[in-house]
Amino acid sequence: MKNTNTKLTSAAATLDQSLTLPCGLTIANRIAKSGMSEQLANRHGSPTPEIEQLYAAWARGGAGLLITGNVMVDGRAFVEPRNAVLESDRFLSAYKLWAKAAHAHGSAIIMQINHPGRVAVLPLLKKPLGPSAVGLDLPAMNIVRIPRAITEVEIHEQIARYATTAALAVQAGFDGVQVHAAHGYLLSQFLSPLANVRTDAWGGSPEKRRRFLIEVVRAVRTAIGPNKALSVKLNSADFQKGGLSQEESLEIALALEAEGIDLLEISGGNYESPAQLGFASSKQAGRDAYFLSYAEALRRRSKLPLMLTGGLRNVELMQRILAEGVVEMIGMARPFAMQPDVAKRLLAGESAAEPPAIPRVGYKPVDAYLQLAWHAAQFRSIAAARDPKPLGGLLRTVLAFAPRMGFNIVTQN
């Protein structure tokens, strides 16, 4: 089911201007909190009061749009322990409270729905699913976590699962969903020529590699209808030699526009090359706006509503790319972990604060995980009504998440 309403409020906008998406959803301003993995569900996958309090704080902080972190479409595969899961109405009342926490303070909220594919952390003792039996190009991971190639029957099952989760999300009061097709998760893996070496109808050419994503988008649109927001998060590139290129990604974006999605979030990178966290060596990822050149290239070919996320901190740069009509929304993630009210500060003309130094060991995949764990600790502080604060050096950072992570893995239902 295509969304044929192409109305946008304006090509040239300011941060404080509202935006009406093609589906009819009006967002109060142009600042969005992009998805980050909160890891604040309970051991069964249900949202908790802590996640409600976290999103209430971000909504009070002025963000026009809140995009949740990973909500799993399949309780048999987790990105991390304590991810939320929505595959039945079992936890629907908790999801309703989550949506209300955002709406009570004026923010729109979209649920990010996802399947980890070959990067699943749990279950530990079971082979994860992937497009092909190709492991991550990381030490040990390409030996101990080789995925099992998903069958065609299982592909159709997962398409149905995305649709089921999407339908339940809008039933719970969310304003729509975001299909996560970036950062090396299952749909992103299917788009990658490195991860997807299939020779059937789901791989072997750009059109076949993107078929899974397109089928998911069609199923989700049918499930949520034309009046709820359907967003997709897409890599501008994988930033790996032989991975998804910018040229192929642009063609995917145009195919998504033809399907009538409401908002495309532009990101990039994956576990092997975490460009989304500023660790890409490629010159394509700039210091201040990692994926701006891609957004500019896509805008020359498309009228699709765009959200740019990655490295944006300077309020003048944000205002410029909005005024030039390059994108319709400004996305940020990590700044919200240290400044829950960063949206209000931006609307007042203040740039986001420089991020504190986070410990590094010099190996990009590990450093990226340290960043994610460091920010998750801040989420717990915000949810408990405490001010975020730096954790200290490497040892304190590891101690802040390693015991908790181990306990959560062992006790995950």
* Tens-binned pLDDT, residue by residue, of the chain (413 aa): 455 443 444 456 899 999 999 999 999 999 999 999 899 999 999 999 999 999 999 999 999 999 999 999 999 999 989 999 999 999 999 999 999 999 999 999 999 999 999 999 888 878 999 999 998 876 655 556 789 999 999 999 999 999 999 999 999 999 999 999 998 999 999 999 999 999 999 999 999 999 999 999 999 999 999 999 999 999 988 676 778 999 999 999 999 999 999 999 999 775 554 444 444 444 444 456 789 999 999 999 999 999 999 889 999 999 999 999 999 999 999 899 999 999 999 999 999 988 777 878 777 667 777 777 788 889 999 999 999 887 777 887 777 777 887 888 889 88
**Which run of H or E residues covers position 148?**
strand 148-149
Question: Dihedral of CA 328/168/35/351: which sign?
Answer: positive
Euclidean distance between CA atoms 44 and 34, whole angstroms: 25
Q: Which CATH superfamily is domain 19-355 in?
A: Aldolase class I (3.20.20.70)
pTM check: above 0.85 = yes
388 touches 382 (CB < 8 A): yes
Backbone phi, then psi, for 122, in 5-degree steps?
Answer: -125, 150
239 touches 285 (CB < 8 A): yes
Q: How far is CA 130 from CA 245, 252, 266, 385, in A?
A: 20, 20, 23, 39
Q: How would DSSP label each residue in 93-120?
A: HHHHHHHHHHHTTT-EEEEEEE--GGG-
Domain boundaries defined on the chain: 19-355
